[in-house]
Amino acid sequence: MKILRFVLVGLFICSGTLSASWMLAQDTKTSGDEKPASKASEEARAYSGMYGFLKEGEFVQLTVEDDGSVTGFVSRYGDGDSDKGAFLDQFFKTGKLQGNKLTFATEMVHGVTFDFSGTVERGDGKNLGDESYFVLKGTLTENVSDANKKVTSHSKPVAFKMFPQDAAPAPAGRN
C-alpha cells in the first residue's frame, strides 16, 4: 500500500511538472517574425532614457515598462508671460509603446500640453549608451489654451536624440 501511495504521488508530481513545462513552452512560442516576450521587453526597456527636446537644455525623460506602458516627463523652459525662462516639468498623462511605435501626451502646465506620435529608431550612436543611439522621430503637437479656454494646436516633425548615458566605472585590475 505504501509503495502504491509513493507511485501515485510520484506520478502526480511528474504530471504537474510536465504540464507546467508545457504551459510555459506555450507562453513563449511566437510566430516567425515576432521576438520572444522577454527579448522584446528587454529591447523596449533599452529605449528608456533621456532625449533632447525642442531647445538646448530641454529634455524628455522616457521610461518603458514591461507591459509597454510609458512613463516620463518633458522638462522645458516656459514661453508664457508668467513663466518665461522658468524650468517646467510636464509629466506624461498617457504613454504607450507598441513595437517601436511610441505615443505620449503630457499633463497641462500653464495652459500647454504636448502630444507625440512617432517611432523609436536607431540613430548614429555606435554602442548602447552613446549619444543618438536611439532617436524619437515623429510629430509633436503643442496645444496652447488661452484664458477663454480656446485651444490652438501647432504640429511639427521632430527628431529627439538620446543623450549619452554615463559609462560604468572600469573594472579594477588584478595585482
Q: What is the pLDDT of residue 19?
A: 40
Encoded amino acid at 126, one letter: K
Please tell me the least confidently modeled range out of 2-6, 53-57, 126-130, 134-138: 2-6
CA nearest to 105, candidates 88, 118, 93: 93
Q: What is the pLDDT of residue 34?
A: 47
Q: What is the pLDDT of residue 24?
A: 39
Confidence grade of residue 165 (pLDDT, cut at 50, 70, 90): confident
Residue 42 lies in a domain: no
Half-sphere exposure of 141 (CA within 13 A, CB side): 12
Please report, for the domain that includes residue 107, its CATH number.
Answer: 2.40.128.30
Residue 63 lies in a domain: yes
Work out the number of other CB atoms within 10 angstroms of the CB of residue 66.
Answer: 12
Residue 21 lies in a domain: no
Q: What is the pLDDT of residue 20?
A: 39
Q: How many independent structural domains does the chain possess?
A: 1
Confidence grade of residue 10 (pLDDT, cut at 50, 70, 90): very low
Residue 130 lies in a domain: yes
Res 97 pLDDT > 70? yes
Q: What is the pLDDT of residue 39?
A: 65
Residue 171 lies in a domain: no
Question: What percentage of residues in the chain have a pLDDT greater than 70?
Answer: 71
- Reduced to 3 states (helix: H, G, I; strand: E, B; else coil), residue 127 is coil
What pTM did the predictor assign?
A: 0.71
Residue 9 lies in a domain: no
Q: Which domain holds residue 61?
A: 48-161
Work out the mean pLDDT of the chain and round it to a whole number. 79
Confidence grade of residue 36 (pLDDT, cut at 50, 70, 90): low
Res 144 pLDDT > 70? yes
Q: What is the pLDDT of residue 103?
A: 97
Q: What is the pLDDT of residue 33?
A: 46
Residue 39 lies in a domain: no
Residue 29 lies in a domain: no
- Contact yes or no for 62/46 (Cβ under 8 A): no
